[in-house]
Amino acid sequence: MKPLRCVAIVGVGLIGGSIGLALRRRKLAARVVGAGSRPATLAAALHTGAITEIAADVASAVADAELVIVCAPVDHIVEQVRAIARACPAGTLITDAGSTKQQIVDELERYATSDATWPAEVAFVGSHPLAGNEKKGPQHASATLFEQRTVVVTPTSKSKPTNVSRLHEFWSALGAKVLEMSAAEHDRAVALTSHLPHLAAAAIAGTTPEQFLNLTAGGWLDTTRIAAGDPSLWRQIMLANRGNLLPALDALLTQLAAWRQALDTQDGVELERLLTEAKRIRDSAGS
Amino acid sequence: MKPLRCVAIVGVGLIGGSIGLALRRRKLAARVVGAGSRPATLAAALHTGAITEIAADVASAVADAELVIVCAPVDHIVEQVRAIARACPAGTLITDAGSTKQQIVDELERYATSDATWPAEVAFVGSHPLAGNEKKGPQHASATLFEQRTVVVTPTSKSKPTNVSRLHEFWSALGAKVLEMSAAEHDRAVALTSHLPHLAAAAIAGTTPEQFLNLTAGGWLDTTRIAAGDPSLWRQIMLANRGNLLPALDALLTQLAAWRQALDTQDGVELERLLTEAKRIRDSAGS
């Protein structure tokens, strides 16, 4: 990617901060302007070099930006992107980093076509970098967070191919593998690969009596690790994708019923079949 | 612990191999004799220095041993310990490293008191080092596997205090934190802290459609990691502890029903309460 003159990052926590660090490390942006609601977070991001300047407000952050990345909790993305679009110069591409896509993409497409304050030459195309973890804040940001990670880009039939290409190039330039799919397809898949594991990890942690925590080891710690994620962010994600998460949870409950049946009837053959099938899938996914 | 003259390890895979490496690294045993059914595994353990010699059979392995550790799949421990006891010199202490304890400890206590071939001066006291992971084989063994890890020791009312002390000293000398509890208490706790997480991790892996594996990230990988464990070993563990695992699974199903209800009714307050409670428990357990 040809280095950008000015990129704005709205929300400089783990994801936004890591985008800034990667852009600077890879010399992909002369200016990285940060905006956000918490002065201490912005100061920390400036201190670590994730951004080159702090904007007084979102409008001034994006006033000169070729690309804007909105790294906000999913419930705030639509409203933030709408406010940002009004302040952008012609030609600006806006994207996000939200864990759910359909609701965000659908609403923004409606606004972009029907809202008179949305400038004709400003576009939004959704992104989801599959690179978060249980930590938060710019102090955990890393210039290598996106290397070899998947970023899903979710254009619609109305997205201009040049904007989709710009977004591909951007995430690829940060080291990511870019996948393109519809927002609906994305949400269906991540309900099973991200939101359901989060729910299950939290349910396992919630099932563990505290007096037994001294008997936990690597297995429990790995299996429940993401349950340490931010409860408010995850409430928003789960509710935004509940249409896909509910059937995913029902699929897990069906699986668990088969495990329960095998245990209850002491069916060692079936138990080993279930364990073997799980191992086969897990082994094919990497470490 | 005063260094031992001769320790026998029966089964030199991940756990047995790591015991040998730790004993040698810490200069805690002059001789570490290995025995097991697979010549290639024994050769690998000798090559890495986990054992100092390979015995032709179990009887000759233990003929000179002050301490014997049986690192076998849980279904084989009772039978192996019985065969070993007959071949041990007076004063030998035998322990195991099995993930379940009650069945093993109960059966061996019955044999030790009723079986005429069990020598009066040979004792068994059960152990469970909470230090395994999804890998197997001596090539993954590590001299530091037990450092800061918990090892549960499960004496009975018939165990001699001197033997319990010897076992405490042994595991402490390898760097572990030793907890003493009844076999029943141990099995109840690990059903929730180890066997249930394994079952759930495998069920999540089993629920993931393979065409979505390219959309997995750190959360899925952590949550399902232990599902890569050996299916045959885990079938044995789950069946041996099914009396505790079934109620643990039912507790998880009750939790999941609460999550489903909150999702289904779009009850954000309850969803955030469940997420917050899970985070609180996870945060108190370390990383």
The pLDDT profile of chain A, 287 residues, written as one tens digit per residue, is 999 999 999 999 999 999 999 999 999 999 999 999 999 999 999 999 999 999 999 999 999 999 999 999 999 999 999 999 999 999 999 999 999 999 999 999 999 999 999 999 999 999 999 997 778 888 999 999 999 999 999 999 999 999 999 999 999 999 999 999 999 999 999 999 999 999 999 999 999 999 999 999 999 999 999 999 999 999 999 999 999 999 999 999 999 999 999 999 999 999 999 999 999 999 999 87
Asked if A234 and B275 count as a contact pair (C-beta separation under 8 A), the reply is yes
CATH number at residue A222: 1.10.3660.10
Cα-Cα end-to-end distance for chain B: 30
Do B128 and B161 fall into the same domain? yes
Do B40 and B174 fall into the same domain? yes
Which tokens sit at A114? 């029907």
Range of the domain at B101: 4-181
Do B66 and B142 fall into the same domain? yes
Give the number of other CB atoms < 10 A from CB of residue B234.
Answer: 26
Which of A128, A162, A181 represents a domain boundary (last residue)? Answer: A181
CATH number at residue A125: 3.40.50.720
- Comparing C-alpha atoms, which of B42, B41, B7, B38 is closest to residue B24? B7
Do residue A193 and residue B215 have CB atoms under 8 angstroms apart? yes
From chain A residues 153-182, the ones with a CB under 8 A of any chain B CB are 179
Do B31 and B160 fall into the same domain? yes
Do residue A216 and residue B235 have CB atoms under 8 angstroms apart? no
Do A190 and A177 fall into the same domain? no
With 0-12 CB in 10 A as exposed, 13-18 as middle and 19+ as buried, what is B192? buried
ipTM reported for the complex surpasses 0.85: yes
Do A94 and A214 fall into the same domain? no
Do A269 and A192 fall into the same domain? yes
Which of B122, B157, B181 represents a domain boundary (last residue)? Answer: B181
pTM above 0.90, yes or no: yes
Which of A125, A149, A181 represents a domain boundary (last residue)? Answer: A181
Beta bridge partners of B153: B127, B180
Q: Establish if A242 touches chain B: CB-CB under 8 angstroms.
A: yes
Helix/strand/coil percentages in chain A, nearest 5 = 55, 15, 30
- Comparing C-alpha atoms, which of A15, A64, A1, A62 is closest to residue A35? A62
Do B219 and B129 fall into the same domain? no
Contacts of B264 in chain A (CB under 8 A): 242, 246
Do B138 and B34 fall into the same domain? yes
Do A237 and A274 fall into the same domain? yes
Interface residue of A135, A186, A208, A267 to substitute, partner B, most B CBs within 10 Å: A208
Do B166 and B222 fall into the same domain? no
Do A215 and A76 fall into the same domain? no
- Quote the number of domains for chain B: 2
